[in-house]
Structure 1
Amino acid sequence: MKSPITVIILTFNEENNIVDCLESVKDFAAQIFIVDSGSTDQTPEILTRYPVQVFHHPFENYSQQRNWSLKNLPIKTEWVLNLDADQRLTDEFKAEVHHHLSNGKLENINGFLASRKTMFMGKWIKYGGHYPTYHAMTFRLGKGQCEQKLYDQHYLVEGNTIKLKGDVIDLITESLSTFTLRHDKWSTLESIQQFDSANSSTETIIGKLKGDAMQRRRYFKNLYERLPLFVRPVLYFLVRYFFRLGFLDGKRGLIFHFLQCFWFRFLIDAKIYELRRTNKQIIQ
């Protein structure tokens, strides 16, 4: 029996991911919407095999695409679930959400927090503080939106939320080449976000040490951003890999934690340093 929920999936050249994603939701959601931003691979053809409604919208950034989808799609259900093509719903997640939506006791609840279960090179990255990491992917229509950030966006939910036990599987990369290419692009967005105060917005999660799981993560991220450039990625890697036991993830964990916790963060700092030098030269 399908749940009274709408799933929204963003796509752009996702022929390697979209099948498994749709297989995980096709028997779960009452509605499935695909918002495609100009795929040129086999994604459009694959979508014809599934009970989905496809909409096309030019991609500006992740936040704009998500919020456009929430405002413009003909959603008929009260609840929505936002997915990426490289994510899959677990049976536990689906059963838990279906139970909550069917029991009629959610008057004061507007969202669900679920943890991502990151898979890297075929291995679950369990340590290094990477699990559990909760996200508000599911909420009542009109009670949630994607925060206005260039990178590392999360969903803002108005009102109370429930923390779920079921996870969402997140395939972090198809290959190391894809991983480094994507993170190079994301490092540019994050460096601009941190450098340019014009990109700041009040429509973001407020960091709170005693808040919910997402607010606590944002609190510590804000502290990280106050640390000196080039020092903070070293400290971050040491904390994640040694103090948060990332080394227990083995060889693939070493690759992941080094690239994600040190190389990626160091690249962000290098690009911020470059932006500062360029800006200083322009002023002079």
Structure 2
Amino acid sequence: MSGLLDLTIVLPVRNEAENLGAALQSIGSDLAQAIVVVDSNSEDDTVKIAQEHGAHVINFQWNGQFPKKRNWFLREHKPKTKWVLFLDADEWLTEEFKTELRAALADTPHVGFWLNYSIYFLGQPLKGGYPLRKLALFRVGSGEYERIDEAQWSALDMEIHEHPVLDGSTGVIHAKIDHRDMRGPEHWARKHTEYASWEAKRYMALANDPAAKHQWSHPQKIKYRLMGTPLLAPIFFLGCLFAMGGWRDGKRGVMWARLKAGYFAQVYTRIQQERQKLAKAEN
């Protein structure tokens, strides 16, 4: 099957020179009607690489309020295509995914699709462990990413674990996108330290908000039920290693489960810090 899909692919980025070229190469020139890179004042060659691959570049300057990068793009630069797909710069489209994507969009009653990703760790894809799944492909105008009013409590200018809230049914594309970050474990650690702070503050802001809970997916409801307890990290470690098949990756599987469990332990610690701050403020 050939021909450009009625699709805009959007890559929100900042300082992604090491990853972006490979991601754009994996998309190719015969898949989507538009490829857009939304950049946040990168200080490396990100913009140059995007332009060399023929992508349209838009700069985003966050003001610390809603909307963040993806919702801002949907509102201020609404795609003219029927569908929009959001990719990170370390996500590579496989031929299997592109084939299934064409078939899925050819005739579907759904307004969005959950996408599956392979995770590369220490240079090889993991066979088991925590599955990466995101609702990142949907019809333009069917919804947007859930709203969080931050008032600048985070320095992260892009939606992290917010998911799109869509008006309609969703399907699944089973063929995987390759998730490959070329920047190494040091970057992973720095990034997840930022994420842990964001997760803790989000938990404190939304855990008791009935409207927010109504929009959460089933996995989010389970995670947030456990996040305020010390149980999340050990449960995640055991689940990642045994229930989700991480043992099939041997030492790499154990290391991956420990890394992810350590991340959730950090989230729990930060939640306790936020609770102490709140208690002091109330007194």
In which range does the TM-score fall when normalised by the shorter chain? Answer: 0.7 to 0.9
Amino acid at match of 1:241: L
Q: By how many angstroms is 1:15 displaced?
A: 0.2
Q: Which has the larger displacement, 186-195 or 71-80? A: 71-80
Distance of aligned partners of 1:74 and 1:271 in 2 relative to their CA distance in 1, 3 Å threshold: closer
Query: Equivalent residue for 1:86?
Result: 90
Paired position in structure 2 for 1:196: 205
CA displacement 1:48-87 (0-9 Å, x = unmatched)? 2122111111144896210111122252211111111111
Identity level (%): 25
Q: CA deviation at 1:247?
A: 2.2
Q: Which has the higher contact order (CA 8 A, sep 6+)?
A: 2
Change in Cα spacing, 1:109 to 1:278, as seen in structure 2 (3 Å) is closer
Question: Which of 215-224 and 36-45 deviates more?
Answer: 215-224
Confirm or deny: 8 A CA contact 1:148 1:201 kept in the other structure.
Answer: no
The match for 1:127 is 128
- Cα RMSD for the two superposed structures: 2.4
1:14 maps to which residue? 16
5+ long unaligned stretches in structure 1: 208-214
CA distance in 2, matches of 1:188, 1:157: 27
- Among 76, 80, 105, the alignment partner of 1:76 is 80
| Matched residue, 1:221 | 223
The number of residues matched between the two structures is: 269
Aligned partner of residue 15 in structure 2, secondary structure? coil
Conserved in 1, the CA contact under 8 Å of 2:8 and 2:33?
yes
Large movers: runs of 4+ above 6 Å: none
Partner residue in 2 for 1:44? 47
Q: For residues 87-120 of structure 1, give each alpha carbon's deviation from its aligned partner in whole angstroms, at most 9, with x where no partner exists.
A: 1111111112222334xx33x3211221111112
Residues 205 and 167 (structure 1), Cα distance of their counterparts in 2 relative to 1, 3 Å cut: farther
Instruction: Quote the Cα distance in structure 2 between the aligned partners of 1:199 and 1:46.
Output: 44
- Taking a change above 3 Å as real, the CA distance of residues 205 and 52 of structure 1, as seen in their structure-2 partners, is farther
Q: Give the 3 Å change call, closer, same or farther, for CA 172–19 of structure 1 in structure 2.
A: closer
**TM-score, length-normalised on structure 1?**
0.85
8 Å Cα contact 1:114-1:137 kept in structure 2 = yes
Answering whether residue 189 of structure 2 is matched by residue 185 of structure 1, we say no
Distance in 1 (alpha carbons) for counterparts of 2:86 and 2:76: 14
* Among 11, 34, 42, the residue aligned to 1:31: 34
